[in-house]
Structure formats: C-alpha cells, structure tokens
Chains A and B, each alone.
Chain A
Amino acid sequence: MAKIAIVTDSNSGITQNEAKELGITVIPMPFNIGEETYYEDITLSQEQFYEYLKSDVDICTSQPAPADVMKVWDELLKEYDEIVHMPMSSGLSGSCQTAIMLSEDYDGKVCVVNNQRISVTLRQAIFDTMLLIDKGYSAKEIQKILEEDGLNASIYIMLDTLYYLKKGGRITPAAAALGTLLKLKPVLQIQGEKLDAFAKARTVSQAKSIMINAIKSDINTRFGGNPEDCCIFMAHTNSDDVINEFKQEILKEFPDREIIVDPLSLSVSCHIGPGALAVAIVKKLHV
C-alpha cells in the first residue's frame, strides 16, 4: 500500500500545532500588509490581523509561492509515495490552479483536489482524506471521491457590515445585489465556486433565523433529509461572544450535536471584516 501525505493550506483552519498532531502539512497563506509579508499562524496571529484590519492599512491576500509549495512536496516525497494536496476553493483563489499546474511535473504522485471547500468544510474534507487513506484508497481515487463530494457542503455567513466587501471590490455581484438605502445584515453563501449573496436581513436575529432555515432546507432538499447524516460547523470573524450565543440557538434546533466553532480563515475574513457569523453544513461522506 502506498504511503500518502496530506497537504492543505491555512484556510482549512487547521493550525500548525494541530497539523503536527495529525501528521499533515499546512502551508501558511501569505498576507501583504503595508510593505511586509506575513504568514498566517506563523508570523500573523488572528489578533494581529484584526488590529491591522481595523487600522486603515492595505491588506492583500496572495497565494503561496510556487517554490514554497514545491519545496513542501519535494520534502514529503522523500518519505511518502504520493501526496493529496487540497488548497482553498478554486472559486476564491488561484492557488488551486497553480498547484494543478505544478503537479503536472510530478508524474501523478501529487493529486490536487479541486473540491471548492474552505474553512470548516475544507477541514472536514481533510478528515475525510485521512479516513480514505486508512481504508487503503490511492491518492488518485481519493481525489476523485472528494471532488465528487465537494458540492455536498454550504457555508452561510452573516456580515456585520458591507464595508469590507465593497472595499475589496472583489465580490462585486454579491455586493451589488445588496445595494440599498437601508442598513442590512447580508447573508452570503459559499457553495461550489462562488461566494455570493444568499439573503438579507435587517437585524442579527433575522439573519440567524435565515441561516438556520437555510441549513434545514439543505438537509431536507440536498442532503437526504436526515440531520444525523450531516455535520454542522460554525465559524466567525472576531466575535466569540456572539457566536457562542448563536451556537446555543443552533443547539436548540439540533440538540445533542457536537458543533465545532472555528475562527474563519483570514483569507475570507479579509473580505468580510469582523463581526461575521457563519454556520456550515456538510453531508457526511460514505465510502
């Protein structure tokens, strides 16, 4: 049986410490802040990031340098036969495309999974990968399974403000749809390729009930109707108190569930700003 290594990036929300425990590699996402380049969870903590975000300094996200990626792969291939490489969603970053291109020189030893996941749903896919490796699947087979399963996940995010979305200018269709005279709490959806406007609310509690209804509707219409067959995750940008309150409300709807709450990865936070609440639903993988 081939020895398979797992590589992802810091958008999975998996910290460097966790990565060591799990025996996987997490490539840090680089951020250009002012003149400096910082690396997520290495030279840039969550707290530092939000400090920078609040000040008016320009923050740019970029993808990991190809040389860094290849260096990681080369090192791993000394010890492993194959690599499953799973970067953040190709809909939100070019890093997946770059990795696919780079992998062409590795004779099929590096399989880049383009499954359009990010944050908590990407993390779940990493756990699925570990399970698949244990079951003896090859890297190629794992890539196929995970790409087919990729769309069985949604993230709903309530933004506290439209400021960062507009400032970034990057997610214009979503921002444009939300242009109105009123102050709104927009709810975005990450599903497949896109980060797009899903709904809008006037108050935080309306937004919460929109998100709860959305995951209920996903369970019933997309994921076969059984809540037990799905994982629920939550995430937030720099709003611990509010997310815990929201978690209690979700637990009322789905009692006795284990719900992991993560900070949203900084590549996403950068575009949506602080105060965002997110809930994600992923259909469990059956193999």
Chain B
Amino acid sequence: MAVNMIDAGLLAKMFIAGAKSLESKKEWINELNVFPVPDGDTGTNMTLTIMSAAKEVISLAQPDMMTLCKAISSGSLRGARGNSGVILSQLLRGFTKVVRDYDSVDVDIIAVAFDKAVETAYKAVMKPKEGTILTVAKGMAEKAAELAHNGESDLDSFIKQIIEHGDYVLSQTPEMLPVLKQAGVVDSGGQGLMEVMRGAYDAFLGKEVDFTMTTNVSHAAKANIDAQAEMDIKFGYCTEFIIMLTKNFNIKQEIDFKEYLESIGDSIVVVADDDIVKVHVHTNDPGLAIQRALKYGALSNMKIDNMRIEHQEKLNLMAEKEAAETAETPMEKKDFGFISVSVGDGISEIFTSLGVDFIIEGGQTMNPSTEDMLNAISKVNADNIFILPNNKNIVLAANQAASLTEDKKILVVPTKTIPQGITAAINFVPDLSAEENLTNMEGEAERVKTGEVTYAVRDTMIDDKEIHQGDYMGIGDKGILSVGTDLQSVVLEMVDAMVDEDSELISIYYGSDIDEEAAGVIKDKIEEKYPDCDIELQKGGQPIYYYIISVE
C-alpha cells in the first residue's frame, strides 16, 4: 500500500538518517572543493551543522511535530558553520517553519515546505549564486511543486523523483559555474544536500538506521571539546596500586578481578608478574577496588587522582590565562567590543594587541559555528560588538549569530581575509559612532588585497592554470595568482600580481612551517623589488598557509 503521510516519528528517523548519510560522505565531499587546498571543508562544515541538530533530535523521546521541528531548526542554526552549513541550516529552518504546524505531512505540505526552505535560504545569502547548493535545493522544490500539482500522492514515488531531479540539477552545476567545470567537480554543497536526501529516503523505505552517535568532534571549537571532555568523564577517580600477592592469583582470579573492576569502572589494566599485580582503573568508588584487591595481598604505591578536578584545574588554568590575556580590558561595560576569528599564535597576538577582546580560533581550516560566535558574544561585555570573521566562509555564520543576538548590537565587518581583519581593527576610531566605524572599517578593509600561499592536494585546472598535486599555489582574492614547484618564486609571482602603483604597504605573515630566516629572505627580495613600498614582516604562525601576504 502506498504511504502518503509522514508523522513526527518517521520524520525524525529520516532526518537522523539524512545526517548520518551526509556524515559518511563528508571526506569525499571535502575533496570536491574547487581549489585543491589541503583544507577543503564543505563536507565537514555541513556535517557539523546537521549533526548539531541530529543530536538534539536524538535526545527527544517521543517528539511531536512542533518539538521535532524546533530541535531541527535551533540545533542546525546554532551549529551552522561555513557558508554551506549556514545555507543548510536555513533550508532546514524554512522547511520546519511549514511542517511544524501539522501532525503529519503529505505531498502537498512537503512541496510547500520545500518552497519555503528555498525561499528562506536564498534570503540568507547576499548575492545568491547559481550552480550551488541553492540551485540544487531550488530544483528539488520546483520538482516537488510540479509533482504535487500533478496529483502525486504516493510519497515513495514522490521522494524518489525529487532525488532523481536533484541529482540531475547537481550534475548540471558545472555548466552554470565555470570554475566547477574547469576543476572537473560538481558543487560540493549540492552534493552534501543530496546525501542528506538519500539518507532520508533510505529511512523512509525502512532501512536500518543507526542511532548511535559517533560524530568525530575533533573539528569542533576548543571550548566545545572541553565541555565534551567534562561530560565524558564517567568515572572520576584514576586509581592505581600494586598488589603484593599473599594469596593465590591465577588466571581464574585474574579474570574474576577484572570482571569486578569492569562492573565499577573502565580503563582497566591488570598486569600480573610473579608475586605482584599492577592495577589501574577509573572508577567512582576507589574504595571498592581497594577492598577487593586486599583479598589477594597487601597494597603499595597507591595513587588516586580526582580526574574531574584535574580537568577543572585545566579549565581554570585556561580561564586564568584568558583572563590574564585580556587583563587590560576593563570589566565594566564598554561601548565597543571586538571579536575576531584568528588562526595561528602570531596573528592572534596581533589582534589582541589591537584591542580585540575575544579571539575565536578558526579560519579556513576550521570554520567556527554560529554557536561559537554566540559564546564569544556572551563573553564580551560591550553594547556594540564588532565581529571580524576574516574568512569569506565565516561571514554568514557571523551574520546568523548577529541576528540571533538581542541584548547587544552586533556589527559584522565582512572581512574576508586575516589582513582585511587587521586593517579593519586598526582603522577603528573610538570617537565615532558604531555605524560610522562600520562604514570606514569596511571601506578600508576592501582596499586590502590578500594573497595566500599553500600547496595543491590534487591535479586540477583553474583559471587556465594547470596545477599538479604538491605544487605551491598563490591564491589571491579572485583566483589563483601563481603556481609552481619553487616556493620562493610562487610567493614573488603572487606579490607581483598584487602590487600596483598605488600600493604603499606590503605585509608578510609567515606560517608555522616557515622559519624566520626563510621569511627574512622573502622580505628582502620583496623590499628590493618594490622600493616605494613599506614592507612589514610578522610571524603569523598559521598552519597550512606558508605565507599570507597583503598589499594596501
């Protein structure tokens, strides 16, 4: 019999399955990046976004449609990171805005919800581009409307046809965006969306869905890992001792003892050696382990640590360090505060010295989520807070955080690169209003040209330049500026493409893989070549990008 309704329980399953499906393909989607840079991240960003929502959904016992929709919408909004993640979160928000009002949904309602999803997502992007995840979503929404209009009511056939059409639109994205075609890839965000659809369809068909959560959180921001680690300490005392055997301790006793320890804790190590046994266990009741061990002999070298306190101490230390770093910041409410996304210790130090109150570690390699931004906003005690995203892939998450903040005025300076952020921060004038500053900072940041040097992770063709795996690439604001096997000439060629007669200052931030001496050589060469420009060399300490260079 044809199924023509989806209730909250089934929708929850479909959503989780969709998230899981995306997660299983994330590495592959990462590689669909147009630029063959080592830190392609669309798959990771979309996965982290949707997993944040999936976790909320899983924690609901028997959700009704309204609760389920709230969990999907708020979870993905808060977890959103990267452009594709933000767009995905907006698609979900639009979708749930429609379906939350029904106990179960049919073809007609889903078609309307798809339309709403697309409308919401287009609004989130300042200049929507075709040939992206937006186009794929729009294609599916149009197909859904068409099928609904034609009287389709069998959901199986409906979903199948939507996915087929979505795949077709996705396959056409290289025709719409020349960069995709040249690089020989389809749009990665669109691909991610199709994986979500496929997972959801599998769940609809009744395929087994694995509800356990094994999301790798290594990409989540540092603060999140800490929170996670704290939650993960199930057994609080690290207990170690040596039993000096006075009783028999053969294989049987050893197995018994281990079984007992497993019943009270984990991380168990029991090593028997002639007349001593070394024991290690994490447990909430070290006394039980000790009492049991006393049955076999006398104890020595006892050591019990409270791991929760250690963890807390670590957190405290970090907090103290943070407080020390921002000691100059007065505790009372300020007119203006600054949050900056940064990568690398050198660059973070520069931002701090320019008066930035809170640094979010992240960047191209790790896009902070909307929630990371919201956390930062809550920590800065100021009426007006400027956010410097310093990456074009983070601007949307910052905007989303701004729209979710009500008690403070958030001004996102849409800086696309680290040097743009530095120039924006420098050009802040305390005496001017927030709006005047935003205009000035944005204007000055736009005049900064940025080039970044990294290496290629695969062979490809971009901007008519042939790139081989392992080549050095100089990437400018609008595309690849130089390619080659010699780092120095790639850097110099890139700078040459950026400097013009109006250029006054060339700033070089060298990465963690470059030593000061090598950077000094580059500086000297640039100085020699452009005698009219001031040259500034700073340690950036950023990973993956050997040099970040700006010309202004």
Knowing A180-B353, A182-B538, A205-B504 are in contact, say whether A210-B552 is a contact too (CB < 8 A): no
Contact with B along A272-285 (1 / 0, CB 8 A): 00000000000000
- Which one of A179, A182, A189, A206 lies within 8 Å of B444 (CB-CB)? A206
Is the beta-carbon distance between A182 and B350 smaller than 8 angstroms? yes
Would you give the shortest CB distance from B317 to chain A, in whole angstroms? 25
Using A182-B536, A183-B536, A204-B504 as known contacts, say yes or no to A214 and B349 having CB atoms under 8 A apart.
no
Contact between A202 and B350, CB atoms less than 8 A apart: no
| Cβ–Cβ contact B552 & A217, under 8 A | no
Interface residue count on the A side (C-beta < 8 Å)? 21
Query: What are the interface flags for A185-221 relative to B under an 8 Å C-beta threshold, 1 for contact and 0 otherwise?
Result: 0000100000000111111111001100110010000
CB distance from B82 to the nearest CB of A (A): 29
A203: chain B residues within 8 A (beta carbon): 504-505, 534, 552
A204 to B534, CA, bound (A): 11
- Chain A min CB distance to B276 (Å): 57
Is B534 a contact of A184 with CB atoms below 8 Å? no
**B interface SS class:** mixed
A217 to B437, CA, bound (A): 11
Minimum CB–CB distance for B246 against chain A, Å: 65
Q: Which residue of B lies closest to A197 (CB)?
A: B430
Within 8 Å CB of B432, what residues of A? 213-214, 217
In the bound assembly, the distance between CA atoms of A181 and B432 in angstroms comes to: 24
Asked whether, in the complex, the Cβ of A202 is within 8 Å of the Cβ of B505, the reply is yes
Q: Is the CB of A180 within 8 A of B354?
A: yes
Which B residue's beta carbon lies closest to that of A207?
B427
Contact B426–A201 (Cβ < 8 Å):
yes
B332 in the interface, Cβ–Cβ < 8 Å? no
* A214–B426 alpha-carbon span in the complex (Å): 15
| Residue numbers in B under 8 Å from A205 (CB-CB) | 504
Q: Would A210 and B350 count as touching, CB distance under 8 A?
A: no
CB of A179 within 8 A of CB of B427, answer no
In the complex, what's the smallest C-beta–C-beta distance from B533 to chain A, in angstroms? 10
Contact pick for A213, options B436, B507, B552, CB 8 Å: B436
The CA of A189 and the CA of B432, in the complex, are separated in Å by 13
**Given A182-B536, A205-B504, A217-B436; A199-B353 close (CB under 8 Å):** no
The answer, yes or no, to whether B217 is at the interface (CB within 8 Å) is no
Beta-carbon nearest neighbor of B419 in chain A: A202
Closest chain-A Cβ to B181's Cβ sits at a distance in Å of 39
Cα A202 to Cα B444 with chains together (Å): 10
Query: Across the interface, which residues of A come within 8 angstroms of B534, CB to CB?
Result: 183, 203
Contact among B353, B429, B538, B552 for A179, CB-based, below 8 A: B353
Whether B426 pairs with A200 at a CB distance below 8 angstroms is: yes
A199 touches B538 (CB 8 A): no
Least CB distance from A219 to B in Å reads 13
Does A198 lie within 8 Å of B444, measured CB to CB? Answer: no
Q: Which residue of B lies closest to A189 (CB)?
A: B431
In the assembled complex, the Cα of A201 lies from the Cα of B353 at a distance in Å of: 14
A210 near B431 (CB under 8 angstroms)?
no
Interface centre among A189, A206, A214, A217 (most CB of B within 10 A): A206
Distance from A210 Cβ to chain B, minimum over Cβ atoms (Å): 6
Complex CA distance for A205 and B427, rounded to whole angstroms: 12
CB atoms of A181 and B504 under 8 A apart: no
Do residues A202 and B429 form an inter-chain contact, with CB atoms below 8 A? no
Taking CB atoms, residues of chain B closer than 8 Å to A214 are 429, 431-432
8 A Cβ contacts from A132-187 to B:
179-184
- Closest B residue to A199 by beta carbon equals B429
Closest to B536 in A: A183
Q: Is B4 an interface residue (CB 8 A)?
A: no
Please give, as numbers and ranges, the residues of chain A lying within 8 Å of B504 by CB-CB distance.
203-205
Q: B353 to A198, Cβ gap below 8 A?
A: no
Q: B440 near A: Cβ within 8 Å?
A: yes
- Chain B residues within an 8 Å CB radius of A184: 426
A201 contact set on B, CB distance < 8 A: 426-427
Contact of A206 with B427 in the complex, beta carbons under 8 Å:
yes
- CB neighbours (8 Å) of B505 from chain A are 202-203
Interface pair B353/A202, CB less than 8 Å apart? no
Select from chain B the residue with minimum beta-carbon distance to A180: B353
Give Cα distance in the complex from A217 to B436, angstroms.
9
- Minimum CB–CB distance for B28 against chain A, Å: 41
- B residues 523-552 with Cβ under 8 Å of A? 534, 536, 538, 552
For A179, list chain B residues within 8 Å (CB): 353
* Contact A202-B431, Cβ < 8 Å, known A180-B350, A180-B353, A213-B436: no
> B residues within 8 A CB of A210?
427, 429, 440
Q: Which residues of B contact A181 (CB under 8 A)?
A: 349-350, 353, 538
Complex partner residue of B426 from A182, A189, A209, A217, CB under 8 angstroms: A182
What is the bound-complex CA distance between A47 and B305, given in angstroms? 74
Closest CB in chain A relative to B534 CB, distance in Å: 7
Shortest Cβ distance from residue B79 to the other chain A in the assembled complex, whole angstroms: 35
Question: Bound state CA distance, A182 and B421, in angstroms?
Answer: 14
Q: Write the nearest CB–CB distance from A99 to chain B, whole angstroms.
A: 31
Give the residue among B428, B431, B507, B538 with the most A Cβ atoms within 10 A. Answer: B431
Contacts of B350 in A (CB 8 A): 180-182
Contact indicator B428/A199 (Cβ below 8 Å): yes
The 8 closest A-B pairs by CB, nearest first: A199-B429, A180-B353, A203-B504, A203-B505, A200-B426, A202-B426, A181-B353, A181-B350
CB pairs A–B below 8 angstroms (18 shown): A179-B353, A180-B354, A182-B422, A182-B426, A199-B428, A199-B430, A200-B427, A201-B426, A202-B505, A204-B504, A206-B426, A209-B440, A210-B427, A213-B436, A214-B431, A214-B432, A217-B432, A217-B436
Q: Which A residues have a C-beta under 8 Å from some C-beta of B?
A: 179-184, 189, 198-206, 209-210, 213-214, 217
